[in-house]
Amino acid sequence: MLYIGVDLGTSAVKLLLMDENGKIQNIVSKEYLLYFPHPGWSQQDPQDWYAQTVEGIRELTADCDKSQVAGISFGGQMHGLVVLDENDDVIRPAILWNDGRTGKETDYLNNVIGKDKLSKYTANIAFAGFTAPKILWMKENEPDNFAKISKIMLPKDYLAYKLSGVFCTDYSDASGMLLMDVEHKCWSKEMMEICGVTEAQLPKLYESYDIVGSIKADLAEEFGFTGDVKVAAGAGDNAAAAVGTGTVGDGMCNISLGTSGTIFISSKSFGVDENNALHSFAHADGYYHLMGCMLSAASCNKWWMDEILKTKEYASEQEGIVKLGENQVFYLPYLMGERSPHNDPKARATFIGMTMDTTREDMTQAVLEGVAFGLRDSLEVARSLGIKIERTKICGGGAKSPLWKKIIANVMNLKVDVIESEEGPGYGGAILAAVGCGEYASVEEAAGKLVKVIETVEPDPELVAKYEERYQKFRKIYPTVKGLFQELAE
């Protein structure tokens, strides 16, 4: 049988066709626009996602035996606010995960409602990118639109709704809304009251691998599917990527170097760090995970290459970088503010340490190292909880760089396992569809059989020691300039 995985990203939707043995048959990518109507705002039109997904499914399955297509599922960008009216029309553009407009609402939730209460209600505190602050922003700034809301959903759930007609979400993605009681896997009555929404406006909750329905008959006919194509709930992109990299069960780790950067630690038991520096979310395997998320990761390198150096030759720009662990230039990777562990939407990217002999290579190296150091900040929080991590999987566009993988391994002092498929969220989505359709008994079983490690990047003790010294300097920079960021924002 064949399974479709849909990775609904920020710049494109990537669709993947996988057979029951995990072999990828085809991959299609469709781009759409990203809008920045004000500095720090980030929006998209959900109808663009759907149009490109439909076109992508057509192209993806054009040459396959369509009678073999059994299921579809998703990995989607998290936290986005999608609102529909009573006629199922989109009320306003979706406010995305990397949108920074909700500073006032985030402060209200954390400081007036209080972090202790939020953590008790949801296992998390408010971050500017989360969905609940966006709802409060809309209530305050667009009351007419707010009054029209009939359905509140996350980006990938809009696709599921349009394809199946089922108003649903999954526990992993819903964990990032600040509306769900993560420990007990239900909507939080207290948070609904705080945000002024009702349970009727929120989707029904499912496990990521649960079948929620089937592709609508008219769409199935349009696609040329002859069988009943099941729709599984899917997962937030990081949980889906973790499934796609085999980061399931207890004590496994995955680092994602995508537009954003994450360090994802799977666990069979629920847990929260005392400062809520890491997100405590449900996982797509039916259990839980801790996650540190930095808002700009591979996007830092993209910005540096495309906007500053004006080049697309990413690999050649890295060829001259040889003095690892000795760079005097540091880079704070906060182009869109920062989430984990600082929770500071006003933080900004910064270079420091340049001298007259600083080279182009030094600056490029500093960008790669800054992202690695930023991820290490979250790893240190996990280590403070007594979590022992010795190795990690890696995925995302940045993981294609051998140099960046080497830097990550030595900054983190972790063995970095490279897997056969780099298609984390899409591959995870296809695996969830296969589990939902009964191809495998569990997500763990499927990941164990399908995900293959093809290379391991080992840390070098000498380089680890050099990077330890660099990291201890890096971690002093943000606290030193934090106050200045606040002043610049004013």
| Annotated binding-site ranges for substrate | 78-79
* Cα 432–Cα 125–Cα 338 angle in degrees, nearest 5: 85
How many other CB atoms are there within 10 angstroms of residue 47's CB atom? 15
Q: Reply yes or no on whether 89 is catalytic.
A: no
Rounded to an integer, what distance in angstroms lies between the CA atom of residue 14 and that of residue 22?
A: 17
How many other CB atoms are there within 10 angstroms of residue 254's CB atom? 29
How many CA atoms lie less than 13 Å away from 268 in the CB half-sphere? 4
Per-residue tokens: 149? 């809301």
Q: What is the largest CA-CA distance in the chain?
A: 67
* Cα 367–Cα 371–Cα 376 angle in degrees, nearest 5: 145
Sign of CA dihedral 452, 235, 298, 397: positive
Rounded to an integer, what distance in angstroms lies between the CA atom of residue 283 and that of residue 273?
A: 17
Q: Which of 85, 104, 4, 102 is nearest to 46 (CA)?
A: 85
Which residues, listed in sequence order, are joined to residue 13 by a DSSP beta bridge? 8, 30
Answer whether 380's CB lies under 8 Å from 429's CB: no
Rounded to an integer, what distance in angstroms lies between the CA atom of residue 188 and that of residue 185?
A: 9
Which residue in the list 237, 285, 344, 377 is annotated as catalytic?
237
Strand 186-187 and strand 180-181: the pairing is antiparallel
Q: Which residues, 6 or more positions from 15, have their beta carbon under 8 angstroms from its beta carbon?
A: 4, 5, 6, 7, 27, 28, 29, 30, 53, 56, 57, 60, 426
Amino acid in the structure at residue 352: I
Per-residue tokens: 82? 């999608």
Please give the C-alpha separations between residue 29 and each of 8, 56, 62, 66, in angstroms, as whole numbers.
10, 7, 14, 20
Rounded to an integer, what distance in angstroms lies between the CA atom of residue 378 and that of residue 276?
A: 11
Rounded to an integer, what distance in angstroms lies between the CA atom of residue 132 and that of residue 174?
A: 11
Q: Which of 178, 222, 203, 156 is nearest to 14 (CA)?
A: 156
Q: What are phi and psi of 30, to 5 degrees?
A: -130, 125
Secondary structure letter of residue 87 according to DSSP: T
Q: What are phi and psi of 125, to 5 degrees?
A: -105, 175
Answer whether 474's CB lies under 8 Å from 333's CB: no
What is the helix (H) or strand (E) element at residue 347, kind and residue range? Answer: none
Residues catalogued as catalytic:
237
